[in-house]
Chains A and B, each alone.
Chain A
């Protein structure tokens, strides 16, 4: 049961207003439209003036000790970080992705930046009004939600890597569900964190995962006890606010036997001329018969129309499925200057199911290299991959996926479909699927198509009095429907609008 929150609609108003302006002009040409849209600003590009508590720039053991001390962490966690740092120092930055960017200078990043109020928020009323305003702009009005006491979305808000507030905590606690910031979890439930952290994404997994393990500042933690079906959507909003900072958060979701949880994640950042780094790690543990549904709407600042600024989004997301368990990833990727992200499933238990639904939209000079990995280890494991890429402007959009069937995976089944839509002749769409099969009873299907929107489809719409711009919106939405349908309702509405706004003016 969902209640629609008011705020996303406020956001939508901006879009409508914009469209209204345009419809008034009958001779409005595509070029003019493109011209208009060039100046359209990133909607979430405001900074909030909150004094923040920053660590000095640079990365060394002292910084890690500083972060750890600041967070009052136990020794085992500090050791975990230091070990990760030592591993990271020996690694080199990967270059295989189909993206080109100037590598970040890791000594020029602030690894810790917390909004100054370091005292704990006992209740929502204690939260700094300016920060509340930030959230309101972002469309997460907790006040709104507080009024709607029924079922809704529980939100954990992470700003500049530090969790600010979590709503509906008490209500969830009644069911035994733990949903809190990562640092709280370390304090209050160290046994759970220690048991699961790093089991899905080990420290040495890759360059950015190692970096994250060393310097992560906060994130969300969620534990659903045995047999509990989480009654509401759990949601985290990430926001990078401070300039010159990197955001390194860690999310750990543990669904115990027979439980169910639907988890949402949203991201925004202010407009800046610099490239900011976001290197997150998300680990999902889905135990026997459990199900985790993880949805992301990623809208980090994508850089301006000339490709200046924007977030580097280098994220490691992975889940592990025990027997009969299920993990479903849904992502709508519209932001970030460079995206490098492969939400994956390790189908370890027999009969486990992995799903990946993705819409990736790139415009202007954005680059995305995204996809998934499905590792089939257990018998009768199934995976589905639906990936829709849309490239506009001068952007490059790649799907890169791995389907790996191990010898033990009897009767494994995979279906992959990766479609790409090209909006302009300067954009690129690429597909790099890796299919590795070591079991003769497996069935794997992969299909991919690349094309542009059919002129006949647009003509059909024009003929029926639908403007070209609207026709494109319609066709794109139809094209993405398979994925958007997987999103919880509030997110689906938001995602649709986001798609429209990301693509406006990109008709070639």
Chain B
């Protein structure tokens, strides 16, 4: 299997294929895809608003690095923390003291038989194929049945150095009746034109509760493309909060397969953009069975010359009756050079459902700003207050206090807002 895939992509020609085999079949598919698929262009519907030419021009490599401190990135200092720099595990920076209630294993130490069957789509998905073929490392989190994990599991991904690519995969097995909360933090240090290509697969078992808080804050000049592939079994609850705070080009593909009845899926996202940032959120909720509920709320503030893209899709398959699916996307444009492209989609093949979606794009209400100013607030603070309240709708869904205060700090330092 150590054949170098014949690639049409210059930008990954310098990489050596991974020695970690998740699954032989997936490996072959990945090689095929890499050798046959071109870098997506805006002619492809899923990439209609996102140009990848910038990524295609860079010649990426992957080096182990010598990062010494994670003080700036430690979202939750009490959490069980794993640190991966450029996709490689750093035992010095990690905090793995006395954990209980789950087992954890690096993918490089795993045998492919230990892994659950992957539902990740590789054919035609170039970045998933690259992730599979050039995997640096990954982690398997196994939460046994009936296990309640009280301590948050934190995985920090840090890019270091220029033109570095990190291909990382997180696999979460949440057993029946288990409960866990995971933070995924994405950062960069002294990095430019570096690229985090990340995949997360989660299997949420019967009656399990799983929450993922995803904080994306790579510096300007860096790229992030990630795919979350979630499978929910009956009576389970899955929540993901995607907070995009920085990064030149960020693309999130969130795919949720609801395979069992009585599931709840919550998808929340906040994206705050300035300068020339480009953030693209694609979500798919696939209701395959009856009696489920999904709630989606994505809100963004777009400033300077930045561009936000939202594409939410809800499928309700034939015979998946009694589905309640709600999808909402709100955008505030703060500058004349900012752009929003929103595409909330519904594809429904069952009749006894309640599905709705809404999308708004606008600016701050001048009358409300006036109201606040009449009460003594400066124009700047009035606007900040209003933006904070707007984004606050999403932030209040985040239950983890550490994530909230970390986010508030970034908002304060990067945007000058006060969100408390």
Q: Within 8 Å of chain B (Cβ to Cβ): is A26?
A: no
From B347, B354, B363, A428 is in contact (CB under 8 Å) with: B347
Q: A446–B354 contact, CB under 8 A? A: no
Residue in contact with A431 in the complex, picked from B339, B346, B349, B351, CB distance below 8 Å: B346
**By DSSP majority rule, is chain A's interface helix, strand, loop, or mixed?**
strand
Closest chain B CB from A453 CB (angstroms): 9
Decide if B149 is an interface residue (CB 8 Å cutoff): no
Q: Does A433 contact B359, Cβ atoms closer than 8 Å?
A: yes
Would you give the 0/1 interface string for B217-236, flagging 1 where the beta carbon is closer than 8 Å to chain A? Answer: 00000000000000000000
Neighbouring B residues of A426 by C-beta, 8 Å: 318
Contact indicator A450/B346 (Cβ below 8 Å) = yes
Which residue of the partner chain B has the closest CB to A96?
B45
**Whole-angstrom distance from the CB of A206 to the nearest CB of chain B?**
15
* A contact residues around B358 at 8 Å (CB): 445-448
Is B192 interfacial (CB-CB < 8 Å)?
no
Q: Is the C-beta of A429 less than 8 angstroms from some C-beta in chain B?
A: yes
1/0 contact string of B356-376 vs chain A (CB within 8 Å): 111111110000000000000
The total of interchain contacts (Cβ-Cβ below 8 angstroms) comes to 119
Give the distance to chain B from A416, nearest Cβ to Cβ, in Å. Answer: 9
Which residues of chain A are near B359, meaning CB under 8 Å?
A: 433, 435, 444-447
Check if A440 sits within 8 Å of B349, measured CB to CB.
no
When C-beta atoms are compared, the residue in chain B nearest to A447 turns out to be B358
> Residue A423 at the B interface, CB < 8 A?
yes
Closest CB in chain B relative to A419 CB, distance in Å: 9
> What is the CA–CA distance of A25 and B236 in the complex, to the nearest angstrom?
49
Contact of B340 among A430, A432, A435, A452 (CB under 8 A): A435
Is the CB of A56 closer than 8 A to any CB of chain B? Answer: no
A425 to B335, CA, bound (A): 46
Q: Judge whether B125 is part of the interface by a CB distance below 8 angstroms.
A: no
A178 to B331, CA, bound (A): 47
List, in ascending order, chain B residues with CB within 8 A of A427's CB. 349, 351
Q: Is the CB of A436 within 8 A of B338?
A: no
Per-position 1/0 for A447-483, Cβ under 8 A of B: 1111110000000000000000000000000000000
Binding site secondary structure of chain B = strand
Q: Are A441 and B363 in contact (CB under 8 A)?
A: yes
Q: Could you tell me if A425 and B319 are in contact, using CB atoms closer than 8 angstroms?
A: yes
B318 touches A425 (CB 8 A): yes
How distant is the Cα of A118 from the Cα of B343 in the complex, in angstroms? 51
B interface footprint on A396-433 (CB within 8 Å = 1, 0 otherwise): 00000000010100000000000010111111111111
Of B333, B341, B356, which contacts A447 at CB under 8 A? B356
A441: chain B residues at CB < 8 Å are 336, 363
Residues of B within 8 A of A450 (CB): 346, 348, 353-356
CB-based contact B339/A436 at 8 Å:
yes
Bound Cα distance A429, B356 (Å): 12
Q: Does A99 contact B (CB under 8 A)?
A: no
Given contacts A433-B345, A435-B343, A440-B335, is CB(A448)–CB(B363) below 8 Å?
no
B363 interface neighbour in A424, A431, A440, A451, Cβ under 8 Å: A440
Q: Considering only CB atoms, which chain A residue lies closest to B334 in the complex?
A: A440
Q: How far is the CA of A445 from the CA of B352 in the complex (A)?
A: 26
With A and B bound together, what is the CA distance between A428 and B333 in angstroms?
34
Which of chain A's residues have a CB closer than 8 A to the CB of B338? 438, 440
Contact A425 B344 (CB under 8 A): no
In the complex, which of the residues B319, B335, B355 has the most CB atoms of chain A within 10 Å of its own CB atom? B355
Expressed in whole angstroms, the Cα–Cα distance for A440 and B340 within the complex equals 9
Instruction: Say whether, besides A422-B353, A447-B357, A451-B354, A437 and B346 are in contact (CB < 8 Å).
Output: no
CB-CB under 8 A for A425 and B350, given A440-B335, A450-B356: yes
**A439 interfacial contact with B, CB 8 Å:** yes
Q: Which residues of A contact B355 (CB under 8 A)?
A: 449-451
B340 touches A424 (CB 8 A): no
Name the residue on A nearest B310 (C-beta): A435
Asked whether A443 is an interface residue with its Cβ less than 8 Å from the other chain, the reply is yes
* B349 & A428 in contact (Cβ 8 Å cutoff): yes
**Measured between C-beta atoms, what is the minimum distance from A234 to chain B in Å?**
37
* Interface assignment of B321: CB less than 8 Å from any CB of chain A: yes
Given contacts A444-B359, A446-B360, A447-B357, A452 and B352 within 8 Å (CB-CB)? yes
Chain A residues with CB below 8 A from B362, complex form: 442-444
| A7 → B minimal CB distance (Å) | 36
**Within 8 Å of chain B (Cβ to Cβ): is A121?**
no
Give B291 Cβ to nearest chain A Cβ, in Å.
15
Q: Which of B49, B319, B339 has the largest number of chain A CB atoms within 10 A?
A: B339
Given contacts A425-B352, A437-B361, A440-B363, contact A430 B346 (CB under 8 A): yes
From B333, B341, B352, give the contact of A435 (CB < 8 A): B341
B350→A432 contact, CB < 8 A: no
Q: How far, in Å, is A400 (CB) from chain B's closest CB?
A: 9
B344 contact from A433, A443, A451, A508, Cβ within 8 A:
A433
Contacting pair B357 A440 (CB below 8 A): no
Q: Are B340 and A436 in contact (CB under 8 A)?
A: yes
Is the Cβ of B348 less than 8 Å from the Cβ of A429? yes
Nearest-neighbour CB distance to chain A for B403, whole angstroms, equals 30
B351 touching A508, Cβ below 8 Å:
yes
CB atoms of B341 and A434 under 8 A apart: yes
- The answer, yes or no, to whether B342 is at the interface (CB within 8 Å) is yes
Shortest beta-carbon distance from B325 to chain A in Å: 9
B354–A430 touching, CB < 8 Å: no
B333 touches A439 (CB 8 A): yes
Contacts of A440 in B (CB 8 A): 333-336, 338, 363
Given pairs A424-B351, A435-B359, 19 additional interface contacts (CB within 8 A): A422-B351, A425-B318, A425-B321, A425-B350, A428-B349, A429-B346, A430-B347, A432-B345, A435-B343, A437-B333, A437-B339, A439-B333, A443-B360, A443-B361, A444-B362, A445-B360, A446-B359, A448-B358, A449-B354
- Chain A to chain B contacts (Cβ below 8 Å), 11 pairs: A425-B351, A427-B351, A434-B343, A437-B361, A440-B338, A440-B363, A443-B360, A443-B361, A444-B359, A446-B358, A449-B354
Q: Which residues of B contact A (CB under 8 A)?
A: 45, 49, 318-319, 321, 331, 333-336, 338-363
Q: Which residues from chain A sit less than 8 Å from chain B, CB to CB?
A: 96, 98, 405, 407, 420, 422-452, 508
